[in-house]
Amino acid sequence: MTVHESSFPARVAAFLRFSPVIEAAQTAHRRDWPEDTYDIVTLALTAIDLVVARQGFEFEATRQDVVDALSALCGLAAPSRPVGEHVDVASFVVDALLNRPSGQAPFRYVTSDYSDQETGHRRREVPFSLLVEHDHASRDENVLRATKDAINALIGGLDFDVEDEQVATELVLERQLARNAFDAALKSAERARLLSASLAEGLDRLLKQTRRDLRIVTEEWAEAVPDRLDAARTHIRERLKSERLLLEKVRNALVSGEVKLLTSALRIAQLLEECQRRHEALHHRVIAARGVFLEEQERQAFRPPASVALPDPQQEILLPLLEWGSAAASSLTERFLTDMAGPRPPRLPRLYRLVNDLWARNGAVGAGERSDEDEVELAELPAPLIRPEVVELAIRAVRSVGLPARLSRLLDACLNDAQVASLHLRQQGAEVLNLAVLWAFSPEEADDEGGRMAEDLMARILGSRTVVDTDGTPLRLSGWDGDDVIVAPDAASLLDAKPVPISRESR
C-alpha cells in the first residue's frame, strides 16, 4: 500500500495545509452571520493571494489592507448586510490565517506515519504557519508575509523544487502562448508569480536565521548554501531572459488587437512584469547574501563575552534555597523580589478613600491628653461604615423614581424624602447616591477591601448591571455641579432611554 511509502507522510502534511481554512469555514457557521452568505474558503485564499502579490516589495500588505479588501468582497456578496458585519467577517478570516486565537502560534497537527519498517507506526507532529506578521523597520509597522506552506496551499501542490517547477511552468506557458491558449496561459503566469514569491521566501528565511544566530546555519553555509547561491544566480539569469521573451510574445498578441485575447494577454503581461521585478530584487539579495554571512560572522563570533556568568537555576539557586530554614529563605526571597521588581510608584488617591478620610472625625481630646502632632492626616484608617438609614434612603429614592432616570431626579428624591425629617440625613443620602452613580459611571478595579465595599454598595443601591452615560446635559440642582447623567438598569435600556432632567431647584 502507498501508506507505507516514505513520501506518503509528506503528502499528508501537504493536505493538512488546508485544514485551518476548512476549520475557519466550520467555525463561521457558529457565528451570527446568515447561513451560506460568505464564502470563507474563497476569502481565505484571496487573503493569501493579496499578501503574496505585494510580498517582497516596498509596500507590503498590512493586516488592515487585507481586511479592507476582503470587506469590499463581503459587501459584493451581501450588499444588504451592514458594513460592520463585512468588517467582522474579513477580520475573522485574516485572524484565522494568522492563528490569532492561539496567540499566532504555528498550527500543529499530529499524524500517523506507517513508513517506518522497524516500528510500523509512529506519531508525527506537523507544525506550519500560513500568514505571519513581520515588523517592517522602514515603515514602523507590521506587515503580513505568506509562508512557503501558504504559497503551496494556494498553488495546490506538494513540496517541490522551486527552480525546476518554475522552469517547467515557463515551458508550459511558452507552449500555451504559441497556440494562443491565453486562458490557460493566464493560469500558468499566476503560478509562475507564486513560485517566484516562494523562491524569495526561502532565501529570506535563511538570511533571517543567519542574522539571528549564525550557529544554527553554520553547517548549511559551509556545505549547501554556496552551491544554492550559485544555482540561484544561474536560475534568475535564465528566468529573466525567458520572461523577456515571453513578454515579447504577449505584447505581439496585444498589437494584433484581437479583442477576445486582450484581457488575458494584458493580465499575463502584468504578471510577467511582476515576476521580472521579483527576480531583479532577488538577484540583488543573492549577490549580497555572502556579505551578510561575513558581517554576521564578524559581529557574532567576535562579540565580547558576558562579564558575569549566569548561574544554574536548579543546582545553584533552587536546591540550596530548599535546604534553608523558612525564616532565612523568606528573607532572601523578599530581598530578591524587591531587587527584581525595582521601585514602585505610589498608588494614586481614590475618590472613596478621600471622602472617607474627610468624613472621619478625630476623637475629642480630653483634659490632660495631647494630640499627636506628627500623625499623618491621610493614614490608612479602616473605612467608616455608612449608617443603614442613609443607604435605605438612597435605595428608596431609586425605587420611587425608577430607572432609567436622570441623576437630578434621583438626588431630588433623596433631598425631598418625606419619611426623613433630618435635612442632614437627606443630604448624606444624596451624597451616597451620587457616589454610587459615579462608581457605576467610572468603576475602578476592586482590588482591595475599600474597592469591594464601594462596588457592593453601588450594586445594592442601583443594581449590579447598572450602566451610566452622559449626553452633556448640565446638572441643574442648587449646590451640585457636573453632568446630569442618565442612570439605566442595563445596557439595553440605556440605548432607548431619554429621561427628562429636573427643571427646578431642590427644596
Q: How many residues does the chain have?
A: 507
Q: In this predicted structure, what is the pLDDT of residue 378?
A: 45
Domain ranges, residue 115? 2-151
Q: In this predicted structure, what is the pLDDT of residue 89?
A: 93
Is the domain of 36 the same as that of 68? yes
**Between the CA of residue 94 and those of 110, 131, 144, 319, what are the distances in Å?**
24, 8, 10, 47
Is the domain of 166 the same as that of 82? no
As a whole number, mean pLDDT of residues 361-376 equals 48
What is the percent of the chain with per-residue pLDDT over 90, rounded to a whole number?
A: 8
Is the domain of 176 the same as that of 144? no
Pick from 151, 172, 201: which residue ends a domain? 151
Q: Which residue would you say has higher pLDDT here, 27 or 218?
A: 27
**Residue 253: pLDDT band by 50, 70, 90 thresholds?**
low
As a whole number, mean pLDDT of residues 88-102 equals 91
Assess whether the previous peptide bond of 499 is cis (omega < 30° from 0): no
Q: Per residue in 41-93, pLDDT tens?
A: 899 988 988 888 777 666 788 889 999 999 999 999 999 999 999 999 999 99
> Minimum mean pLDDT among 51-60, 215-224, 229-238, 349-358: which range?
349-358
Task: Name the most confidently modeled range: 168-177, 243-252, 280-289, 448-457.
Answer: 280-289
278 has pLDDT over 90 = no
Is the domain of 433 the same as that of 398? yes
Q: Amino acid letter at 179?
A: R
As a whole number, mean pLDDT of residues 3-8 equals 68
Which of 404, 392, 456 lies closest to 428 in space, CA to CA? 392
**Between the CA of residue 476 and those of 195, 485, 487, 502, 505, what are the distances in Å?**
71, 11, 16, 7, 7
Q: In this predicted structure, what is the pLDDT of residue 180?
A: 64
294 has pLDDT over 90 = no
Q: In this predicted structure, what is the pLDDT of residue 260?
A: 54
Q: In this predicted structure, what is the pLDDT of residue 361?
A: 61
CB atoms within 10 A of CB 396: 16
Is the domain of 129 the same as that of 97? yes
126 has pLDDT over 50 = yes
Domain for residue 140, yes or no?
Answer: yes
Is the domain of 205 the same as that of 262? yes
Domain for residue 10, yes or no?
Answer: yes
Q: Are strands 131-136 and 405-406 parallel, antiparallel or unpaired?
A: unpaired
Q: In this predicted structure, what is the pLDDT of residue 183?
A: 63
Q: Which residue would you say has higher pLDDT here, 467 or 378?
A: 467
Q: Per residue in 418-443, pLDDT tens?
A: 888 888 888 888 988 988 888 888 77
**Residue 345: pLDDT band by 50, 70, 90 thresholds?**
low
Q: In this predicted structure, what is the pLDDT of residue 160?
A: 47
Global pTM exceeds 0.75: no
Total structural domains within the chain: 3
> Minimum mean pLDDT among 2-11, 24-33, 50-59, 177-186: which range?
177-186
End-to-end CA distance of the chain: 94
As a whole number, mean pLDDT of residues 246-261 equals 65
Domain for residue 402, yes or no?
Answer: yes
375 has pLDDT over 50 = no
Q: In this predicted structure, what is the pLDDT of residue 299?
A: 77
Domain for residue 129, yes or no?
Answer: yes
Please list the residues that pair with 125 across neighbouring strands: 110
Domain for residue 82, yes or no?
Answer: yes
The dihedral built from the CA positions of residue 277, 278, 281 and 284, taken in this order, carries a sign that is negative
Q: In this predicted structure, what is the pLDDT of residue 1?
A: 55
Tabulate helix, strand, coil % of the chain (nearest 5). 60, 5, 30
As a whole number, mean pLDDT of residues 261-287 equals 75
Please check whether residue 233 is in contact with residue 283, taking contact to mean a CB–CB distance below 8 angstroms.
yes
Is the domain of 398 the same as that of 428? yes
Q: Which residue would you say has higher pLDDT here, 180 or 245?
A: 245
Is the domain of 196 the same as that of 249? yes
As a whole number, mean pLDDT of residues 435-458 equals 73
Pick from 286, 301, 316: which residue ends a domain? 301
The dihedral built from the CA positions of residue 449, 452, 454 and 460, taken in this order, carries a sign that is negative
Domain for residue 433, yes or no?
Answer: yes
The cell for 373 is 502632632
Please check whether residue 77 is in contact with residue 38, taking contact to mean a CB–CB distance below 8 angstroms.
yes
Is the domain of 170 the same as that of 141? no
Within 257-350, residue ranges assigned H as helices are: 259-301, 319-322, 326-341
Going through 93-243 in order, the beta strands assigned E by DSSP cover: 107-113, 122-128, 131-136, 141-146
Is the domain of 166 the same as that of 259? yes
Which of 290, 289, 286 lies closest to 231 in space, CA to CA? 286
Pick from 99, 127, 151: which residue ends a domain? 151
